[in-house]
Amino acid sequence: MKDRLSGQLDLAALFDPAAAPRLIESLTLRGDDVARDADVLCTVVGSPSFKDGRIASVGQPVGFACELLHAWRSSGVNVTARLEGAYALAIVDSKRGCVFLAVDRFAIETMCYRTDGKTLAFSDRADCVQGCDEELDPQAIFDYLYFHMIPAPRTIFRQVRRLPAAHAVLIDQHGAREARHWPLHFDEQHRQPFAAARATFRDLIRTGVATEVAGHQRVGAFLSGGTDSSTVAGMLCQVSGKPAPAYSIGFDAEGYDEMEYARLAARHFGCEHHEYYVTPADLLASIPAVAQHHDQPFGNSSALPAYYCAKIAQADGCTKLLAGDGGDELFGGNSRYAMQRVFDFYQALPQGLRRRIEPLCEDHSPLRRVPGIRQATGYVRHARVPMPDRLQSFNLIMGLGPASVLTADFLAQIDLSEPSRHMQATWNECQAPSLINRMLAYDWRYTLADSDLPKVRGATRMAGIAVAYPLLADRLTDFSMSLPPDWKLRRFKLRWFFKEALRGFLPDEILAKKKKGFGLPFGVWATRHPELRKLAEDSLTSLAARGIVRPDFLQALITRHLPEHPGYYGEMVWILTMLEHWLRQQAR
Tell me: the pLDDT tens digits for 179-226? 999 999 999 998 899 999 999 999 999 999 999 999 899 999 999 999
Instruction: Report whether pLDDT(312) > 80.
Output: yes
Instruction: Report whether pLDDT(579) > 60.
Output: yes
**Domain boundaries along the sequence of the chain:** 6-180, 522-585
Q: Read off the pLDDT of each residue in 315-333 and give the average, rounded to a whole number.
A: 97
Among 86, 82, 194, CA closest to 501: 194
Q: Read off the pLDDT of each residue in 33-54 and give the average, rounded to a whole number.
A: 91
User: How does residue 516 score in pLDDT terms, banded at 50, 70 and 90?
Assistant: low
Report the b/e string of 397-418 with b at 16+ CB within 10 A: bbebeeeebbbeebbeebeeee
By the 8 A CB rule, do 437 and 427 touch?
A: no
Instruction: Report whether pLDDT(57) > 60.
Output: no
Q: Read off the pLDDT of each residue in 379-387 and give the average, rounded to a whole number.
A: 90
Instruction: Report whether pLDDT(36) > 70.
Output: yes
At residue 534, the pLDDT reads 97
Report the alpha-carbon distance of residue 100 to residue 523 in Å, rounded.
Answer: 45
User: How does residue 331 score in pLDDT terms, banded at 50, 70 and 90?
Assistant: very high
By the 8 A CB rule, do 578 and 572 touch?
A: no
Tell me: the pLDDT tens digits for 153-165? 999 999 999 999 9
Tell me: the pLDDT tens digits for 422-438? 999 999 999 999 999 99
Instruction: Report whether pLDDT(523) > 50.
Output: yes
For the chain, the average pLDDT equals 93
In angstroms, what CA-CA distances link 316 with 220, 241, 311, 463?
10, 19, 9, 12
| Percent of all residues in the chain with a pLDDT value above 90, rounded to a whole number | 84
At residue 254, the pLDDT reads 74
| Percent of all residues in the chain with a pLDDT value above 70, rounded to a whole number | 97
Q: Read off the pLDDT of each residue in 128-140 and give the average, rounded to a whole number.
A: 90
At residue 61, the pLDDT reads 47
Q: Read off the pLDDT of each residue in 334-361 and give the average, rounded to a whole number.
A: 90
Q: Read off the pLDDT of each residue in 405-430 and give the average, rounded to a whole number.
A: 97
Instruction: Report whether pLDDT(54) > 70.
Output: no
At residue 58, the pLDDT reads 39
Report the alpha-carbon distance of residue 532 to residue 511 in Å, rounded.
Answer: 36
Report the alpha-carbon distance of residue 535 to residue 263 in Å, rounded.
Answer: 33
- Cite the DSSP H helix spans in 385-517: 396-400, 402-405, 408-411, 418-429, 435-443, 453-463, 474-481, 485-488, 496-501, 508-512
Among 3.40.640.10, 3.60.20.10, 3.90.550.10, 3.20.20.70, name the CATH number for the domain at 6-180.
3.60.20.10
Secondary structure of 403-436 in HEC code, one letter for each residue: HHHECHHHHCCCCCCHHHHHHHHHHHHCCCCCHH
Residue 355 has a CB neighbour count (10 Å cut-off) of 9
The more confident residue out of 454 and 252 is 454
Residues counted in the chain: 588
Beta strand spans in 164-295 (E): 167-172, 175-180, 219-222, 245-251, 272-278
Instruction: Report whether pLDDT(171) > 90.
Output: yes
How is residue 86 annotated by DSSP?
Answer: S
Report the alpha-carbon distance of residue 369 to residue 467 in Å, rounded.
Answer: 53
Q: Read off the pLDDT of each residue in 463-482 and give the average, rounded to a whole number.
A: 97
Tell me: the pLDDT tens digits for 276-286? 999 999 999 99
Instruction: Report whether pLDDT(229) > 70.
Output: yes
